[in-house]
Amino acid sequence: MRYSQDHEFIDAAGEVATVGISDHAQAQLGDIVFVDLPEVGAKLKKGEPAAVVESVKAASDVFAPASGEVVAVNAKLGDSPGLVNEDAQGAGWLFKLKLSAPEELDGLMDDAAYADYLKTVG
């Protein structure tokens, strides 16, 4: 699993990768009440806004941690957005990307680097 500095995670299995927000990010946001997911088929560039996670207090952008085409979204979040709080990096995933430039993942943090990064952002 890899992480962006904006606290997205991306978990690649072959050319398809699962994207969501990190457990740290969900804890910071608090109770999530709505997730605005991208359309299946949307082509995203790394760093572009891809989804919006709405907590009780505010809306937060989720950026594409890598470029690719959206091939699936987590439909369960429609009725149960709280899955992101319960299991952000598991059942609370947001969308799946067919990667167009898998080498982009090399620029992201692994678990150890992300843990160190969280210490620097407090």
Which residue stretch of 5-13, 49-57, 94-102, 110-118 sits at the interface with other proteins (rule: CB under 8 A)? 49-57
Of 88-117, which residues contact other proteins (CB under 8 A)?
A: none
Answer whether 35's CB lies under 8 Å from 59's CB.
no
40 binds other proteins (CB under 8 A): no
Backbone angles phi, psi at 52, to 5 degrees: -130, 130
Judged by CB under 8 A, the residue of 70, 81, 104, 108 near other proteins is 81
Buried b or exposed e, range 5-32, using 16+ CB within 10 angstroms: eebbbbbbeeeebbbbbbbbbbeebeeb
Closest CB to other proteins among 60 and 100?
A: 60
Contacting positions for other proteins (CB under 8 A): 30-31, 33-34, 36, 52, 54, 56-59, 78, 81, 85
